Amino acid sequence: MSGFVSFVSSGPGDPELLTVKAVDRLRSAEVVLFDDLSAGPILEQANPEADLIGVGKRAGRASPKQHHVSRVLVDHAAEGLRVVRLKSGDGGLFGRLEEEIVALNEAGIPFEIIPGVTSASAAAATAGIPLTRRLTARRVQFITGADVTGELPPDTNMAALADPLATTVVYMGKRTFPGLMLRLVEAGLPASTPAMLAEAVSTPAERVTRFTIESLAHHLEETTSSTPALILYGPLAELDP
């Protein structure tokens, strides 16, 4: 008899941002497969008798391949166990959720998806700004700054990303943002457009720094850091905290 998988989104890092349902599933789990960014205090909510298995992927580090993660997930659920697949942020945003769902469907294993606080919302809250703004930011767009090769996706819609009336959030974009900035300016977005770099959001090490898109690109060219971060740019960054 097959088990059951709960895809639990852990939020950006602060265990107090876990949903009640997420905590319930962690406490009843028999196996927890967790991402790197879901480790630490969040795992303290897990059933103390559960098997904890790290399957996280981080840029620039040796990481499990996605097919291996999906296989481990299926194998444990096939043993009839209650499995939590713990994903950072919201698993539905650049979290490789679809591939794992496909693997479960092919194996005939039932599952549920529990959403969580995405780091974009947490970053805006830390900065003291909303993601939308009357008249000047009616649209929010979330994009990835890196495709499967680690480069800026070649089919990126630059007209949309250069929209001055949109809030744009770039996930996994620290390395590629300098190149993206040049393309944004070429597409008509002013180099003086406000931007923010939000690092280690909702953790004790969190830091939000304000730039323009041009000065942020220069900053990222001159610094290296493995700290998880995302980039926001657009009219919202004009607000003072």
The DSSP secondary structure of 96-131, one letter per residue, reads -HHHHHHHHHHHT--EEEE----HHHHHHHHHT--S
Predicted model pTM? 0.89
For residues 239 and 215, give the distance between their C-alpha atoms in angstroms, rounded to a whole number.
Answer: 18
Q: Find, among 46, 141, 33, 52, the residue nearest to 97 by Cα.
A: 33
Residues with catalytic function: 35, 57, 172
Share of the chain above pLDDT 90, in %: 79
- pLDDT computed for residue 37 by the predictor: 84
- Tell me the pLDDT tens digit for each residue of 206-227: 999 999 999 999 999 998 888 8
Q: Provide the pLDDT confidence category of residue 59 given band limits of 50, 70 and 90.
A: low
pLDDT score of 58 more than 80: no
Q: For the chain, which domains are there?
A: 4-114 (3.40.1010.10), 119-238 (3.30.950.10)
CA distance 76 to 200: 31
Give the span between the Cα atoms of 93 and 110, in whole angstroms: 21
Q: Is the pLDDT of residue 100 over 50?
A: yes
The percent of residues in the chain predicted with pLDDT above 70, rounded, is 95
The better pLDDT of the pair 227, 20 is held by 20
Helix, strand, coil fractions of the chain, as percent rounded to 5: 35, 25, 40
What pLDDT does 63 receive? 63
Amino acid of residue 99: E
Residue in 130, 93, 124, 125 with CA at minimum distance from that of residue 10? 93
C-alpha atoms less than 13 angstroms from C-alpha of 12 in its C-beta half-sphere: 24
Which is more confidently placed, 149 or 28?
28
Does the pLDDT value for residue 92 go beyond 60?
yes
Give the per-residue pLDDT at 79. 95
> Other CB atoms closer than 10 Å to residue 214's CB: what's the count?
18
Mean pLDDT of the chain: 92
Structure token pair of residue 211: 């730039």
Is the predicted pLDDT of residue 241 greater than 50, yes or no? no
Nearest CA to 156 among 179, 123, 190?
179
Comparing CA positions, the residue from 27, 15, 241, 216 lying closest to residue 130 is 241
Check if the beta carbon of residue 22 is closer than 8 Å to that of residue 10: yes
